[in-house]
Amino acid sequence: MKQLTRKDFDHLMFPTYVPMDMLIKKAHGCYVWDTEGKRYLDFTAGIAVLCLGHTPDGVLKIIKKQSAKLLHCSNIFANESTLGLAAKLLPHTAFERVFFVNSGTEANEAALKLARRTAFDDYGAQKDEIIAFSHSFHGRTFFSVCVAGQDQYSDGFGPKPGAITHIPFNDLETFKKTISDKTCAVILEPVQGEGGIIPADPEFLKGVRKLCDEHHALLIFDEVQTGIGRCGTFFCYEQTPVVPDILTAAKGLGSGLPIGAVLTSEKIAAHFSPGTHGSTFGGNPLACAVGQYVVDTLTKPAFLQDVRDKGEFLRAELKKLAQETRSITEVRGRGLLIGAELDDAYKAKASEIQKLCFKHGLLILLAGHDVLRFAPALNISKDQLLQGLVILKQVLNEIKQ
């Protein structure tokens, strides 16, 4: 086959994405190499997926071992790897039952269906309203994309599922006026990721939890991005004053292998009786074997303490950079999920900044329209963080001129 280049993307693939101008050849730890041999420092970790960096040795060993034993087995049979992940995962959470899927979208789809079914069983068909928040992101199936309520992602695909209400995030007064006995579920991200790294206010969450209880509505936390150590605790809800009824996870759980999970109580899980929901690949033994390794690694107390330390370090360094360059107005986030909001003068230049970083060998993400997003591997070193910041500073100064 001829040597492929980035240009081939445009005549082979759906044009849903516009990837950077290179082809990735290989990656290890926090570094990525393209087909020209250029090396990049990676602050994106596959969009908060590669919690242990690229191709971690421990994961490669597990893949080798498990792939020689059992790669796939339908859900007509149970297997040790899938059950093993459930047994390891649940004790580190406030939940009693888990359903495995293949992605964040699929986890949210299942969570929303479960919430609707629970209300249907317990209260009847009229209790069907889902409340979600502006600038949220819950995935790309038609149900999850309609729930997230960014019209530009859900318009033009025909009739939308009904009984979904969108209101502003962190606005308890509006929430109070909106929730009713018709509400079956409220879904939110404890830190909005794609929306711009916007943490939920503790007081807002307390109010939401109380009103959900009063109206028998289930509170769903979408922790697809915030979970699995990303925010410096195993799940982000641990840092909030509330516990949700249903939690969804995905991204980091498979350290690069596709897996997602829905967690809840025994009582709520019981509403998914045999035949109500399913997934051919969900609970895949290979992904679950790697998931076990991820849980074992991340739940060592020193690991998450280190994530919190590095998160604080990166935030402090970004604040210094904000003062020096006057291009960043706010630095926010939890653990190693950090956003730097650009000053008005730079707002239109977010993707230019991203491209210049790329040119200088640093991969970063954007969130919202004007927020630089940092989501490196959780085991990145302080040295590597500093190396990236040197490049970012140079880029911000170049943009200024």
Ligand X SMILES: *Cc1c(COP(=O)(O)O)cnc(C)c1O
Q: Which residues bind ligand X (CB under 6 A)?
A: 103-105, 108, 137-139, 189, 193-194, 222, 224-225, 250-251
Closest to 338 in 3D by CA, of 385, 361, 362, 372 = 372
Q: Which is nearer to ligand X, 170 or 387 (CB)?
A: 170
207 phi, psi to nearest 5 deg? -65, -40
Distance, in Å, from the CA atom of 87 to the CA atom of 231, rounded to the nearest integer, reads 23
Give CA torsion, residues 133, 331, 248, 279, to 10 deg: 100
Question: Shortest distance, CB of residue 107 to ligand X, whole angstroms?
Answer: 8
Q: How many CB atoms lie within 10 A of CB 140?
A: 16
156 phi, psi to nearest 5 deg? 85, 20
Q: Which is nearer to ligand X, 222 or 341 (CB)?
A: 222
Q: Which is nearer to ligand X, 42 or 194 (CB)?
A: 194
Question: Shortest distance, CB of residue 52 to ligand X, whole angstroms?
Answer: 18
Question: Shortest distance, CB of residue 324 to ligand X, whole angstroms?
Answer: 31
Question: Shortest distance, CB of residue 336 to ligand X, whole angstroms?
Answer: 14
Please list, in sequence order, all residues whose beta carbon lies within 8 angstroms of the beta carbon of residue 363, skipping any fewer than 6 positions away: 32, 40, 41, 42, 43, 44, 357
Q: Which is nearer to ligand X, 245 or 317 (CB)?
A: 245
Please list, in sequence order, all residues whose beta carbon lies within 8 angstroms of the beta carbon of residue 121, skipping any fewer than 6 positions away: 271
Question: Shortest distance, CB of residue 288 to ligand X, whole angstroms?
Answer: 16
Residue nearest to ligand X (CB): 104
Cα–Cα distances in Å, from 107 out to 114, 233, 244, 282, 330? 10, 20, 15, 10, 32
Question: Shortest distance, CB of residue 280 to ligand X, whole angstroms?
Answer: 16
